[in-house]
């Protein structure tokens, strides 16, 4: 399958589509190039003393490529810590689809932006948060935080 066929396939059966109630963090990103918008919801769980992503869902007011990348990304980040998920670039997130044409690279960056907004918004709101005590800090956060860019 080429990239377009993979995108078509992902659109036909998008994974993790829709709002999530009870999410720990929510992130939104908009593209100034095309005006598209994407929102991600993330729920964490404890795994061997680590705080990892249990599941993520998304809503897209955007193009098919952004929907396809978000569908892949919400699967890809499962089981990762916030730091591991933050290390993923748009290119990493869209990797299962194959190389995107230049005019579609920003679609993957939109997903990356929403992910970073969700994760760094939460981290930035935690006083003294660092890699070492991040999981403790996450545990003390009960409320959903919505970050708008």
**3-state DSSP call for residue 109?**
helix
Provide the minimum distance between the beta carbon of 34 and ligand FES in the complex, in angstroms, as a whole number.
3
Q: Which is nearer to ligand FES, 27 or 52 (CB)?
A: 27
Q: Which residues contact 30 (CB under 8 A, 6 or more apart)?
A: 36, 37, 38, 110, 149
Q: Which is nearer to ligand FES, 2 or 139 (CB)?
A: 2
34 is catalytic: yes
63 is catalytic: no
Catalytic residue among 11, 17, 34, 126: 34
Q: Which is nearer to ligand FES, 62 or 134 (CB)?
A: 62
Residue 29 to residue 57: CA distance in whole angstroms: 14
Q: Which residues contact 45 (CB under 8 A, 6 or more apart)?
A: 51, 52, 53, 54
Provide the minimum distance between the beta carbon of 37 and ligand FES in the complex, in angstroms, as a whole number.
9
Footprint on this chain of ligand FES (rule: CB under 6 A): 31, 33-34, 36, 62-63, 65-66, 106-107, 110
Residue 88 to residue 73: CA distance in whole angstroms: 10
Catalytic residue among 93, 107, 114, 118: 107
Q: Which residues are marked as active site?
A: 34, 107
């Amino acid at each position: 399958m080429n990239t377009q066929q993979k995108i078509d396939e992902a659109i036909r059966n998008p994974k993790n589509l829709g709002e999530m109630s009870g999410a720990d963090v929510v992130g939104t990103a908009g593209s100034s190039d095309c005006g598209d918008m994407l929102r991600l919801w993330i729920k964490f769980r404890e795994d061997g003393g680590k705080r990892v992503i249990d599941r993520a869902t998304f809503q897209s007011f955007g193009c098919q490529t952004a929907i396809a990348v978000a569908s892949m990304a919400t699967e890809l980040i499962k089981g990762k810590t916030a730091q591991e998920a933050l290390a993923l670039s748009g290119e990493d997130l869209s990797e299962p689809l194959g190389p995107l044409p230049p005019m579609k690279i920003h679609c993957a960056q939109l997903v990356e932006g929403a992910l970073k907004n969700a994760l760094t918004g939460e981290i930035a709101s935690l006083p003294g948060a660092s890699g070492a005590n991040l999981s403790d800090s996450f545990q003390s956060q009960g409320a959903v935080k919505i970050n708008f860019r």
